[in-house]
Amino acid sequence: MNVIEAIRTRRSIGKVTQEPIAKETIEQILEAGTWAPNHRLTEPWQFFVMSGEGRAKLGRALANIAVHQAGEGADAAVIETKTADAHAKSRRAPVVTGIAVAPVERRDVIELEEYGAVFAAIQNMALTVHALGLGAVWRTGEPCFHPLMNEAFGLRPQDKMLGFLYIGVPDMTPAQGKRSPAAGKTTWIEA
């Protein structure tokens, strides 16, 4: 598959089977991420690959965040439901890869560029998943950015989990893609 075709046909695949994915395949996806452009060659990404019972780490983190957000005095039944939902979310795919930014602290490094590099790494990974015939969805949201998520994965306060790539064999037909033409968002500045 050529790169233009991959870009135009890649879709978020939120429903996958629980068929195991070979470690070598995941390593290939991770390696693609490491080839993202990054200023000063800081390589500010950190990957957390969870499969099997390892996904429970994410489930516990999501559950802790849900309980924290429910607040003191929350109804026990509500807490139980939120905890069960959190654990279920961690098992939606056979492999879940957490991707974090660990910004380098140097005067010549702009923190925002570190984030851009990791976002580019995630795109490389998603395109590689697609090219390998697998499906993935990149999930983010408030719990992803919560300090308890950092704590769960041993990240420093200045680091940030930027999302979780849920990877598996597709169990759905993706919708057709649709984008506005670039012309509507482009200003040509010429001499």
Q: Per the annotation, does 138 bind a ligand?
A: yes
Quote the pLDDT of residue 119. Answer: 98
Q: Per the annotation, does 10 bind a ligand?
A: yes
Region 166-175 average pLDDT: 96
Q: Per the annotation, does 12 bind a ligand?
A: yes
Residue 76: how many CB atoms within 10 A of its CB? 7
Q: Per the annotation, does 51 bind a ligand?
A: no
* 3-52+92-173 fold: NADH Oxidase (3.40.109)
Instruction: Quote the mean pLDDT of the chain.
Output: 97
Q: Per the annotation, does 40 bind a ligand?
A: no
Quote the pLDDT of residue 179. Answer: 95
For the range 145-153, what are the long-range contacts, defined as Cβ-Cβ under 8 Å and sequence gap of 24 or more? 146/65, 146/68, 148/61, 148/64, 148/65, 148/68, 149/61, 149/65, 152/57, 152/58, 152/60, 152/61, 152/64, 153/48, 153/57, 153/61, 153/98, 153/100
pLDDT digit string (tens) for 60-114?
999 999 999 999 888 999 999 999 999 999 999 999 999 999 999 999 999 999 9
Q: Per the annotation, does 139 bind a ligand?
A: yes
Quote the pLDDT of residue 73. Answer: 86
Region 174-188 average pLDDT: 95
Q: Per the annotation, does 39 bind a ligand?
A: yes
pLDDT digit string (tens) for 37-64?
999 999 999 999 999 999 999 999 999 9
